[in-house]
Amino acid sequence: MIPELGQFALALAMAIALVQSVVPMIGAARGNLVWMRSAQSTALGQLLFVGVAFGALMWAFVVSDFTVVNVAENSNSLKPMLFKVAATWGSHEGSLLLWTLILTLFGAGVAMFGSNIPHALRARTLAVQAWISLGFLSFMLFTSNPFLRISPPPVDGNDLNPLLQDVGLAMHPPLLYIGYVGFSIVFSFAVAALIEGRVDAAWARWVRPWTLAAWVSLTAGLALGSWWAYYELGWGGWWFWDPVENVAFMPWLLGTALLHSAIVTEKRGAFKSWTILLAILTFSLSLLGTFIVRSGLLTSVHAFAVDPERGIYILALLGVSIGGSLTLFAARAPSMEGGGLFAPVSREGGLLINNLLLATACGTVLFGTLYPLFLEAVTGDKISVGPPFFNASFVPIMMPLLLVMGFGPFLTWKRADLRGISQRLWMVAAVAAVAALVLWYLVTKGPVLAILAFGLGIWLFLATLQDWGARIKLFRAPFSESLRRARNLPRASHGMTMAHLGLAVCIFGFVGSSAWKEEIVTFAEPGTEVQIAGFDIRFAKVESVPGPNYTAFRATLVVNRAGAFVQNLYPERRIYPVAQSTTTESSIRHTLAGDLYAAISEPAAETAGDVWTLRVIYEPLVNFIWLGSFMLVLGGALSLSDRRLRVGAPRRAKMPEMAQPAE
């Protein structure tokens, strides 16, 4: 009964979306306030009914209702409750429902909290949002119904892919989707502005909190996802340039660019058409990700079960939404007037470089991700594009970005005094250079590029601190005054400082764990000893331990350093009889200086008895990645809590001087 209610709720949500996609649009065109305001109630109605459907599916998972195909295929009565709940979004159908739920959540958010937005813009935005949810609701109801029944029902379910039975997984898709799908509302704002034919500073102000909210959760989702890969998959790495990782990363890159270009549009009225284009492209990349994951177009570890019919449907959806919005952009963008003039060295100029670099980096990742497909289509050759391509192309693009980021906050609008800034920053540059040289002296192995990147990280860190210190006159004024200044500084400013520092901290982690990593893979039996990064590790024993829906082989590794006992590590190999698969449960000694990571896998040969493949990795500074990601998220959240984003549009003391278009 409950699954049928869920299906009924979905159908109702689709009917409401249909109304919402037409009525507010006509209302906005005719100036009919009642029709415009109807969007607010329908947006809430959509959220309600999609929420009911989602709840119904979750209920089916919680009570293990195996008459529902989706539950039978992805759950099992022995599974811990947390993972039963998480299995709701573990399959293609369920995750699509989550997608739609978040889509309607953002629509309802604008309906509830967007009271400062003009009625016409809000109505059009919600109508565009309804077009998207119409596309996805119809996709779900016609090709991927999560509530299909099965008869006769199986006695027990197939179990969720054991790799996905981890707390990291329970959290990471919802967060990733909030970010991913959250950009939909920014897209809707952009399309609404194009339809309206007006983009101004106020528009950028309204859009920014939504961009920021989506960006914050996308950052958190990406960080959690890579943490999950690192911790759960036993691959001894946190990023693999897998197509599906790339398609989640590309919206982040463009979203970051959007966040910065929207500032220019808001403060200076420039970059208007560029900001709109970024808003459209960011969400287009989210859609592209959905398409790639669900169409089986590229080979990836993340792919869902593939169905060509679904692929065609999403491709059509992509064609209409991306093609349509970009055509609209092509028609309207030339008529958008440019903003104020600025000198090449100015905050506008700095943010322009930021945008160019981020967009180029994103283009590089896009090209690398799709290149195997292009090549196969043109020549029939099958190749894979892996980390070497991305390390050689993406990393060098990001390094100048770090350099410019150090200067960025010091630049003033319109025209900046480069000499003055250099005078304030030369100490920082000198310290970073010396630190890099010392590092080069200490660390002999690893590429020179790594030393350079590390030095740039130090530069960014110190330059950001210097900027913050200058703003609150730290050490230049009495401490009480600095404190007062820090309190009065807008939260967005603290947020920027925190996020930029976070990126610098991430860089330390990225460089340390990829350039100076040590790894040993060996066949081990009780008594085997290995040495890595100053640790002596003895493989003591392997024993069999039962778990709730698996059996584990648990190894005991005794870790010593300089003859003194440090701790034991217990990596596990888990065997899931129902799902007929195995997973690696790594054991990690976390310290800020680096992680000592151990994993075991199957005996090298069945007859070999107690021989295991032991993998020990030392990843220096890897925890800085999560620390830095946390700081990025915190910075975004601080900025989001700035009250200036909640109050109305900015008021200008005087109108900006209109001059030649500067775009």
Partner 1 sequence: MQRVLVMLPVAVVIVIGGFFLWGLNPDRDPNAIPSALVSHPAPAFELDAVDGVDVPGLKTADLAAAGEPVLVNVFASWCVPCRAEHKVLTRLAASEGFPLFGINYKDKPEAARDWLNELGNPYQRIGSDLSGRAGIEWGISGVPESFLVNAEGTVVWRYVGPIASAQAQDELRDALAAARAAGAGS
Contacts with partner 1 by CB under 8 A lie at 273, 277, 280-281, 284, 291, 295-299, 308, 311-312, 315, 318-319, 322-323, 326-327, 329-330, 333-334, 370, 373-374, 376-377, 381-384, 519-523, 604-608, 611, 613
Residues β-bridged to residue 541: 556
Shortest approach of partner 1 to residue 623 CB, angstroms?
24
Residues β-bridged to residue 619: 595
Residue 137 vs 281, nearer CB to partner 1: 281
Residue 152 vs 609, nearer CB to partner 1: 609
Residue 584 tokens, joined: 């690696």
Residues β-bridged to residue 575: 551, 582
Shortest approach of partner 1 to residue 581 CB, angstroms?
17
| Cα separation, 304 vs 308, whole angstroms | 12
* Cβ contacts of 196 within 8 Å, gap of 6 or more: 28, 120, 121, 124
The type of residue at 541 is: K
Residue 607 DSSP one-character state: G
Q: Are 40 and 126 in contact (CB under 8 A)?
A: yes
| Cα separation, 28 vs 129, whole angstroms | 15
Residue 144 vs 219, nearer CB to partner 1: 144
* Cβ contacts of 363 within 8 Å, gap of 6 or more: none
Residue 323 vs 577, nearer CB to partner 1: 323
Shortest approach of partner 1 to residue 611 CB, angstroms?
7
Shortest approach of partner 1 to residue 644 CB, angstroms?
32
Residue 310 vs 500, nearer CB to partner 1: 310
Residue 519 vs 529, nearer CB to partner 1: 519
Shortest approach of partner 1 to residue 96 CB, angstroms?
18
| Cα separation, 137 vs 135, whole angstroms | 6
| Cα separation, 495 vs 490, whole angstroms | 9
Residue 39 vs 317, nearer CB to partner 1: 317
Residues β-bridged to residue 536: 531, 560
Shortest approach of partner 1 to residue 199 CB, angstroms?
14
Within 10 A of 385 (CB to CB), how many other CB atoms are there? 18
Residue 374 vs 426, nearer CB to partner 1: 374
| Cα separation, 490 vs 8, whole angstroms | 48
If DSSP codes are grouped into helix, strand and coil, which group holds residue 416?
coil
Q: Are 76 and 158 in contact (CB under 8 A)?
A: yes
Shortest approach of partner 1 to residue 521 CB, angstroms?
4
Residue 465 vs 521, nearer CB to partner 1: 521
How many residues can be counted in the chain?
A: 663
Shortest approach of partner 1 to residue 274 CB, angstroms?
11
Looking only at the bridges linking them, the beta strands covering 572-576 and 564-569 are: unpaired
What is the dihedral sign for C-alpha 343, 344, 346, 350? Answer: positive
Shortest approach of partner 1 to residue 296 CB, angstroms?
7
Residue 480 vs 607, nearer CB to partner 1: 607
Shortest approach of partner 1 to residue 314 CB, angstroms?
9
| Cα separation, 50 vs 16, whole angstroms | 11
